[in-house]
Amino acid sequence: MDRRTFIRNARRLVVKVGTSLLVHGFSLSLERLRSLAENLVIAREEGKEVILVSSGAVACGMSALGITKRRSDIPFKQAMAAIGQSILMQHYCSVFSEFGVRVAQILLAPEDVHNRSKYLNARNTFEALLKLGVLPIVNENDTVAVEEIKFGDNDRLSALVASIVGADLLVILSDVDGLYSSDPRRSTSARLISEVQVIDAEIENMAGGRGSILATGGMRSKILAAKIATLSGIGVVIASGKDFGIIPRLLGGDSLGTFFHPAERSLKGKKRWIAFGMIPHGTVTVDGGAKKALLEGKSLLPAGIVDLSGHFDAGDCVEVRDTEGKLIGRGIVNYSSEELRKIRGLRSVVIEEVLGHRDFSEEVIHADDFVVFGGMEG
């Protein structure tokens, strides 16, 4: 399906707005918030279901206390988020009420999507809000997040939200026009890439570093978000949000920003959760034969494992890598790390003797519980 037709037919929409689009001089711009609300309401009036993923809580907290120098320590960020999130939502409630739209706050932490039941509960909450005509506004729960298991930035969070709710389209708005062939700030020959069919190594290499002083993401994080979304069967647009009027223009079919086509073979249901919702607790290294079997859609057996790291229990998620350290995929393991260290490299016929009981699985990871990434980072 061509870009114009896909976007015009998209019914469920996730829009991510970065801090730099909402904050001027370390202060939240109510004029910008009102413009954002107005244009999202236009999308709703055209029959779209809209979910907003909004940054800005930390900046609001800093502004409230008159702080203009960002610090990287976690307690500071958590304190600023705790102060700023309520301020941010208060303003959102105010501007959307001008258009007769009710909003709801949803704060997500990685463990909220790691647990299968919480993942499904989050999806059910989104569904209920949308049926009620309420516009959900999502942010990371920075007040309790730990650096090691944070989403990292709201680009990735927006892709996960889009995946959870089964969105048709993810629109990531920032202070850049889209993906360029090279950094336009450094090269006069840089050209805007209008469409991307497949996110491969060449596309990933076009991404640069971080964004502004108040932002946590850059083009690289947006490409990763686009990869998560497209592998979930979702189309993605990365475009400039300097004028929020771009939202109805995009939905009307204007060829703005960079459009990433959804993958032809997207992940569904449980495998989508394994790939993007679960938090890996360890790494399993496999030999060439096991790698070949996994790529062919077969299960992972103990005989193909050459090493492992981390501490995990049966039912946890682990990354599977080859002997060169390249990521093959992620899966739910049937053994704890302690048990797996005893049986790695062994044939199934001797596992009972080593473990001392008959209640064991022949597969370390069943094919139904494994997702092939094929080099995907992060």
Mean pLDDT for the stretch of residues 233-238: 96
Rounded Cα distance between 81 and 88, Å, is 10
144: pLDDT confidence band, cut at 50, 70 and 90?
Answer: low
Lowest mean pLDDT among 148-157, 190-199, 313-322: 148-157
**Secondary element (H or E) of residue 41:** helix 30-45
145: pLDDT confidence band, cut at 50, 70 and 90?
Answer: low
Report the pLDDT value the prediction gives residue 142, as an integer from 0 to 100.
Answer: 66
152: pLDDT confidence band, cut at 50, 70 and 90?
Answer: low
Structure tokens at 351: 């596992």
- Three-state secondary structure call for residue 378: coil
Q: The domain at 279-372 falls in which architecture?
A: Roll (2.30)
- Three-state secondary structure call for residue 137: strand
**CATH superfamily for domain 3-271:** Acetylglutamate kinase-like (3.40.1160.10)
Look at strands 317-321 and 235-240 and give their pairing: unpaired
148: pLDDT confidence band, cut at 50, 70 and 90?
Answer: very low
Show me where the domains of the chain are located.
3-271, 279-372
* Percent residues over pLDDT 90 in the chain: 58
367: pLDDT confidence band, cut at 50, 70 and 90?
Answer: very high
Inform me whether the pLDDT recorded for 215 exceeds 70: no
* Percent residues over pLDDT 70 in the chain: 91
Instruction: Read off the pTM.
Output: 0.84
Inform me whether the pLDDT recorded for 75 exceeds 80: yes
CA trace torsion 98, 139, 248, 204 (10° rounding): 170
- Tens digit of pLDDT for each residue in 239-289? 999 999 999 999 998 999 999 999 888 888 889 889 888 889 999 999 999
Q: Which among 90, 118, 105 is positioned nearest to 51, based on CA atoms? A: 105
Q: Which among 290, 342, 345, 334 is positioned nearest to 312, based on CA atoms? A: 334
Report the pLDDT value the prediction gives residue 203, as an integer from 0 to 100.
Answer: 86
Inform me whether the pLDDT recorded for 324 exceeds 90: yes
Report the pLDDT value the prediction gives residue 267, as an integer from 0 to 100.
Answer: 86
Q: Scanning the structure block, which residue is given the tokens 């979304």? A: 229
DSSP 8-class letter at 213: T
Inform me whether the pLDDT recorded for 219 exceeds 80: yes
Q: Scanning the structure block, which residue is given the tokens 């080099």? A: 375
User: At 190, which amino acid appears?
Assistant: A
Mean pLDDT for the stretch of residues 73-82: 86
Yes or no: say if 15 and 40 are a contact pair by the CB < 8 Å rule. yes
Report the pLDDT value the prediction gives residue 175, as an integer from 0 to 100.
Answer: 87
356: pLDDT confidence band, cut at 50, 70 and 90?
Answer: low
Average pLDDT for the chain = 88
Inform me whether the pLDDT recorded for 378 exceeds 70: no
Rounded Cα distance between 369 and 331, Å, is 5
- Tens digit of pLDDT for each residue in 169-212? 999 998 889 999 887 777 778 899 999 999 888 888 877 544 44
Mean pLDDT for the stretch of residues 60-85: 86
